[in-house]
Copies of this chain bind each other. A is one copy, B any other.
Amino acid sequence: MSDERWVETAERALADAGRKRGGARRAVLELLGEQHCALTAPEIERALAGTAKRAVSRASVYRILDELEGLAMVQRVDTGQAMVRYERVCTQEEHHHHLVCDKCGLVMPFSDPALERAIRGLSARVPLAVAEHEIVLRGSCRQCQTAGAPTGS
């Protein structure tokens, strides 16, 4: 995905919704535009505070993420790590889920067409009008497996 394109699209969506521009929102948009996977709100707050970028208060981070979620420009991702993560909404072919390493907390994206088909089929059979789905696979990443494994000693 084009990062800049996403930032522009989001700014246009905000303008269309009658929102004025602001420096805090611009900083959050640019940060999200650079990411390849989901961030937590505290990560966003720290990333903006700790760099040359403009610092943005916690309240503003949450407010901006809520607005963007309302405009379908970001989506919430729950990886079972006690914090909600947020990421840019992707184009259809980039729809993905997450692998989470229980040992080091690493979050990686993955996608699988067969799984998506299974989910679509299932959605018709459950007593719920399904709007979204979320799949998280949990285990040990390559690095933690290597680190944890006995290495021939």
Contacts and interface: CB of A to CB of B under 8 A. Distances in A.
Interface string A73-89: 00010111010100000
| Number of copies of this kind of chain in the complex | 2
A102 interface: yes
Contacts of A145: 129
Interface stretch (A17-25, A55-63, A109-117): A109-117
Nearest to A132: B138
Interface in A110-127: 110, 112, 114-115, 117-119, 121-123, 125-127
Interface string A125-136: 111111111111
A27 interface: no
Given A114-B121, A115-B122, 17 more contacts: A78-B79, A82-B84, A99-B126, A108-B127, A108-B128, A114-B122, A119-B137, A126-B137, A128-B142, A129-B145, A130-B137, A130-B138, A131-B138, A133-B137, A133-B138, A134-B136, A135-B135
17 contacts: A82-B84, A99-B127, A108-B127, A108-B128, A112-B125, A114-B118, A115-B122, A122-B137, A127-B141, A128-B137, A128-B142, A129-B140, A129-B145, A130-B138, A130-B139, A132-B138, A133-B138
